[in-house]
Amino acid sequence: MLFRWQLDSPSFEKGQGDKHEARRGLDVLHFRDGKIVEKLTYSKTTIELDGERVRLTTQ
């Protein structure tokens, strides 16, 4: 099963706590006998802060 999601919240990024943040991703769930046996999560490397796309960097 594929599950597309979006997280909307105040920003988690350092120094950006006063801005709105949106992160998007996709979960891939594998089932066997009606039970989840594997879950893979993929997320965008960019986020939206107050409607503007910002590329995430390593700190």
For position 58, what pLDDT does the model report? 59
Domain that includes residue 36, residue range: 2-55
H-run or E-run covering 59: none
- Here the tokens at position 23 are 């992160």
CA distance 49 to 44: 13
Confidence of residue 13 (pLDDT cuts 50, 70, 90): confident
Query: Computed from CA positions of residues 33, 26, 13, 55, in that sequence, does the dihedral angle turn out positive or negative?
Result: positive
What's the CA gap between 55 and 13, in Å, rounded? 11
Say what the alpha-carbon torsion angle 9, 15, 18, 22 is, to the nearest 10 degrees.
-30
Per-residue model confidence as pLDDT tens digits over 16-48: 777 777 888 999 999 999 999 999 999 876 777
**Residue 40 vs residue 11, higher pLDDT:** 40
Task: Give pLDDT, residue 48.
Answer: 74
What integer pLDDT is reported at residue 56 of this predicted model? Answer: 67
Total domain count for the chain? Answer: 1
